[in-house]
């Protein structure tokens, strides 16, 4: 029995999306249409309204949650997020693309793959499935599906160029006016965190902002250049690392 249990644990697969972002947006659209986005809804109620079994719906809900399209609260259920709204009803094409890219970066596995293949030629499904199994702890049984969904996402959303290379620097291709009006991260509740003023030593902290205060200003080089950051009160170090990845996408190509 101990041997069987150890073997089962050894080959347990890491989390991976089982459906594409396009599929998940459509599912979330139906949830939004049926229930709105102001309250959580149990999966049993969603399944009943969609005329699906709970068993068939669970993985779809889980995948939409991995992309950040559905928010899940224990014992209360699911509801559509602001990120879903940005993808489904964007203010501009650029906002839609940025939001889709954020969806791609939400799953931890995808974040690693996107960083690994940025600007590089993408492999075929067979090659990627082997990489997922050997290097990313996706089970052998699930690796082919995980590889297919990842590559389908990139192709459906237009993140692959004519040479089959991953391209995720599209946000710098617009005009300066477009950048001024759209390169703004969505606002989230403020938190208690240091006010940082630019210097050669970026760790220099000048003061602290109490809970419930306005956004955290970050003073940049130059005259009257201030960035503002909003964080939820319960943010974690993991959240900060994720924010770094999102902001890294906004860098201008060299």
- pLDDT digit string (tens) for 17-42? 999 999 999 999 999 999 999 999 99
The whole-angstrom separation of Cα 200 and Cα 4 is 56
Q: Is residue 74 part of a domain?
A: yes
pLDDT at 237: 74
Q: In this structure, is residue 209 part of a structural domain?
A: yes
pLDDT-above-70 percentage for the chain: 69
Task: Provide the token pair at 122.
Answer: 């993408």
Give me the half-sphere count of Cα atoms (radius 13 Å) on the Cβ side of residue 184.
Answer: 14
Domain final residue, candidates 88, 117, 140: 88
- pLDDT computed for residue 229 by the predictor: 75
Q: Does residue 100 lie within any of the structural domains?
A: no
Host domain of residue 149: 107-168
CB-CB contact of 191 with 235 (8 Å)? yes
Mean pLDDT over each residue of the chain, to the nearest integer: 78
- How big is the chain by its Cα radius of gyration, in Å? 20
């Amino acid at each position: 029995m101990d041997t069987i249990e150890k073997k089962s644990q050894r080959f347990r697969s890491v989390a991976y999306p089982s459906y594409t972002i396009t599929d998940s947006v459509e599912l979330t659209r139906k949830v939004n249409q049926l229930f709105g986005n102001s309250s959580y809804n149990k999966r049993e109620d969603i399944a009943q309204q969609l005329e699906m079994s709970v068993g068939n719906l669970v993985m779809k809900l889980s995948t939409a949650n991995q992309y950040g399209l559905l928010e899940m609260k224990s014992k209360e259920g699911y509801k559509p997020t602001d990120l879903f709204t940005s993808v489904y009803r964007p203010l501009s094409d650029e906002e839609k693309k940025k939001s889709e890219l954020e969806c791609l970066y939400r799953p931890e596995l995808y974040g690693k793959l996107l960083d690994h293949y940025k600007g590089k030629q993408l492999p075929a499904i067979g090659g990627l499935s082997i990489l997922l199994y050997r290097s990313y702890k996706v089970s052998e049984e699930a690796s082919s599906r995980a590889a297919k969904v990842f590559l389908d996402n990139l192709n459906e959303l237009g993140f692959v160029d004519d040479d089959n290379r991953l391209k995720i620097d599209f946000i710098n291709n617009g005009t300066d006016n477009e950048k001024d009006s759209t390169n703004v991260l969505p606002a989230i509740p403020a938190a208690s965190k240091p006010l940082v003023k630019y210097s050669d030593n970026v760790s220099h902290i000048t003061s602290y902002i109490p809970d419930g205060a306005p956004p955290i200003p970050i003073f940049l080089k130059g005259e009257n250049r201030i960035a503002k950051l909003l964080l939820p009160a319960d943010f974690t170090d993991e959240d900060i690392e994720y924010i770094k990845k999102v902001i890294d996408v906004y860098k201008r190509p060299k």
